[in-house]
Amino acid sequence: MSDKTIYLKDYRAPAYWIDRTDLYVDLRDDKTTVINQMSMRINPEASAEERLILALHGQELELLSLELNGQIVESDDYHVDGEGLSIYMDRLALDLADNGLSFELTVKTQIEPQNNTSLEGLYKSSGMYCTQCEAEGFRKISYYLDRPDVMSEFFTSIEADGNAYPVMLSNGNKLEDTILESGRRLVRWHDPHKKPAYLFALVAGDLECVEDYFTTKSGRKVLLQIFVESKDLDKCQHAMDSLKNSMSWDEEVYGREYDLDIFMIVAVDDFNMGAMENKGLNIFNTSCVLAKAETTTDAGFQRVEGVVAHEYFHNWSGNRVTCRDWFQLSLKEGFTVFRDAQFSADMGSATVKRVEDVSLLRSAQFAEDGGPLAHAVRPASFVEISNFYTLTIYEKGAEIVRMLHTLLGEELFRQGSDLYFDRHDGQAVTVEDFVAAMAEVSGRDFKQFMNWYQQAGTPELNISEDYDEDAREYKVRIEQYCRPTPESNEKQPYLIPLNVSLWGEAGALAIRLKDQEADFESSDNTQAIIELTEEVTELCFCDVPERPVISLLRGFSAPVKLNFQRDHQQLLRLMTMESDGFTRWDACQSLLLNAISELQTVASDDTKEQQYLCKPIAKAFKALLQDDNADPAMVALMLQLPSLSYLIELRQEVQLEKLDAAREILRFAIANACFPEFKAIYQAYDHAEAYQAKAGQIAKRSLKNTALSYLMLAADKGDQGTASEQLIQSCVEQFQHANNMSDQISALQVLLNADCAEQQAKQALDSFYQQWKSEALVVNLWLQSQALRRSSDTLEQVTTLKQHPAYDGLNPNKVRSLIGAFCGQNLMAFHASDDDGQPSDKAYQFLAEEVLAIDKHNPQIAARLLVPLTRWHKFAGARQSLMKSALQSIAEREISKDVRELVEKSL
């Protein structure tokens, strides 16, 4: 297999186009035969040299025959290797100089889906045939021009044993359903909308269906179907409701109407990704479509809603208008993530959604931007495109679209998206085409804005301020810079929109800027969008009656880091006064970050100084918990301390044990100081209330379970006397009698992490497995909860669980739940020290061995699993050396190009 680097600068349109594709897929238990008849034509723009060879992509295929215009192509006239089929067109009876040349090419191949463990192309999952063709999976089904700029009309015929596979699906609308003379069944589908091969889908299995209808704004009735195994029929309603809400929302907000007679979703247990937006036939990981109160957490319900929306929205932002090449991946993914975030904010709590998105960006995407795997949102090169389905492409890409929305405003952004969809419907386009539509409707020049797409790294803003009381002027100096990344040491300045407000002791102050333009976001001029374009920007606010506290990044208006020292009182003012929910939460996070940094410098036995530093935080949290008017969602968010992964990301060199100890000291101080308030919250909650996956109820449940976590921490590490026993009993009762999975799994996790409840935790673990062992997704939670346990023997427990009947190393969900959770989220256990207090390499070698084993059958999952080892640059001394050594041990073995690309870039 070639490890050739592919460059954006080398893009050329293909020498041949495919206008129509007729597939005949004959599914058999031993071999599957695929007959692929392509109506092709020459690209008039292709050079004479480019026309000489028709190079079709193909992997793991057995070629049975090849015909051109009904005539057999002899073996001397083509060449087959591990990457594809090359046809020497100049040896055939064709006039390659004819710009109007068209012909029929028929390729017959055999494949073995039952042995396809990579889960790319056509494969079997739980006895069902299914496909995953993005990004380059179709080449494992047939020889084809497997690239996104080749868009074809598809006719798909599926032949199979109708008794074994009563459901046989493909893209588009069904044309025919026939019993053949042989007794086998033939079903024929037609997708009238041209699409690239990565959007092809096929499913055949013994499935049940939940149906509903949606009437579009033009009055067309669309059949909606969700196909699942019969045991999961009662878990489809939330996905169906989410689909209908998505269709209605997209019509209202973006003016986009669905364009086929049928929309289908199929749930698959073995799936590398979350879901796939194949035209008219979405294939979903079961974890992203199945939901029921008893088996699904609140986060699970929200994930189903968000992913269903995301895949549906792709019908326009990805399918009707797709990518010219894979370098433009964020064109569809970034835009669609932004759209699904808007939808989720409208369906639930906008503040909670924004905080969740920014938390992920800061802790994980910023880390990606700051490491050896950093790449631009539109990268300049890649070896394996599967490695670029990253947070940079998705989440940072969405933030770039959000900035365009901020700069243009809602009305102009809608005009720009309408122009983009209308102008490029049925085309494969680039990021420039999207930004050009926004530029055209606004009359703006977005040349500098393109730096967001072209440069890797996270911009940082250094802030300094000065207030002149006599002149009533408040001056702010902002210096922007971006650290060097692997692709470039030099960075051009970004266009950065800052959403700004000023806060005095009594509230918001009017903004008057001297020699600086701003777009005001409020009628009283208290909120403004200020655009940074230079390396250094100096702002002067006039007629400011008092020294203000400036809010610089309201709503997280740009994906940047702020380097701005503010004291406790300034942050408290923002935390209590700001009208923007995100900024209130962010001010609280800054208070906590400051306290953790100060605690890191204190000697471990200096309890007096620790208490002194924790006291102001505990006091602020006590006031927050005593505020009867506070939004439960906001309170629950503020009570979450910055994650260890985010704390690591903020530092150039990490002293892990000190960092974690400081965080735990603060967490314990809050638990102790606010014990009565947490107890009151927990006792006031009505556990008998009927479950609803609605924002208000989710917020109350989150706050209650957060309170339980703090209470058990106080009981476990402090001196709460008989209250400890009562708390353990309350936790056990919640576990046993919960009417929803959020409450049950929260209680289990609290018990697992409390030393004082060791016996109860063991009983709960056993009970949970016995209760839910037939529910695969719940078993994943069971595995994950143990992988995330704070304990010195977690690695040993994870190793043991690998032998458990519930674990399947071929199933990506199981691998993510156990191996991925332990290595990627349980940072103290993954980076554990040995008995002598020295860094240990046991977990690093464990991960290296898992990567090598999984790489043999599923390179995509192996590569994603590898990422924790690539963060070695954040650590010093022995720990860094041990992580690099584990990477080196992988590099020395025979590995896939997916894994090799990441290892080599990391080292």
CB 859 within 8 A of CB 118: yes
Q: For the stretch 132-151, what's the b/e string if a residue is b when 16 or more beta carbons lie within 10 angstroms of its beta carbon?
A: bbbbbbbbbbbbbbbbbbbb
Residue 735 CA to residue 751 CA, distance in Å, equals 9
- Residue among 795, 805, 789 at smallest CA distance from 754: 789
Which residues, 6 or more positions from 683, have their beta carbon under 8 angstroms from its beta carbon? none
Cα 508 to Cα 52, 469, 505, 512: the distances in Å are 70, 18, 8, 13
Concatenated DSSP letters for 814-875?
HHIIIIIHHHHH-HHHHT-B-TTS-B--HHHHHHHHHHHHHHTT-HHHHHHHTGGGGGGGGB
Give the tokens for residue 556: 């997280």
Amino acid at site 155: F
Residue keyed to tokens 């986009």: 256
CB 58 within 8 A of CB 147: no
Question: Which residue is catalytic, options 134, 229, 311, 333?
Answer: 311
Q: Determine how β-strand 84-88 pairs with β-strand 53-57.
A: antiparallel
- Residue among 231, 186, 242 at smallest CA distance from 208: 231
Give the tokens for residue 539: 């702002």
Q: What are phi and psi of 107, to 5 degrees?
A: -120, 130
Residue 434 CA to residue 654 CA, distance in Å, equals 40
CB 768 within 8 A of CB 782: yes
* Helix locations, 674-757, DSSP H: 675-684, 695-717, 722-737, 741-752
Residue 467 CA to residue 475 CA, distance in Å, equals 6
CA angle 509, 512, 514 (to 5 degrees): 145
3-state secondary structure (DSSP) of residue 264: strand
- Residue among 40, 42, 64 at smallest CA distance from 52: 42
Active site residue 45: no
* Positions marked active-site: 311
